[in-house]
Amino acid sequence: MQHQADEKLLVVMLDDMIDHAIPRLLCIRKHLRNGEVLADADIHFLTGVLDHLSLCYSGYHNDPQCRVIFASITHLLFKVIKRGLKNEKRMNKHLLKLKDRQFELSATPI
């Protein structure tokens, strides 16, 4: 009886990942590939996916197929987060250069 309930829960979790999480992860990845940075809503979503994956792993890590599926989604999540950090660092560098340039211009006597 418990095994059957666990299987149903797993199906619901996988359906949620396939129908909602993966498409949004791919959409976010596309935006990041275009050089954009993560919005607060994206960060909140990524945190939720990570929490969801942790829950899934803790319940189904003994099943080899589940490990492969959740590991693949986790890897995609890792790549998205890594790209988001890279873009954020690049954007911060650019902003610092602009601030320095602005300071130089304002310090120049007229």
pTM to 2 decimal places: 0.78
User: 79 vs 42, 43, 73, 93, 110, CA distance in Å?
Assistant: 14, 14, 10, 21, 49
> pLDDT tens across 20-74, in order?
999 999 999 999 999 999 999 999 999 999 998 888 777 777 778 878 888 899 9
Residue ranges per domain, the chain?
2-107
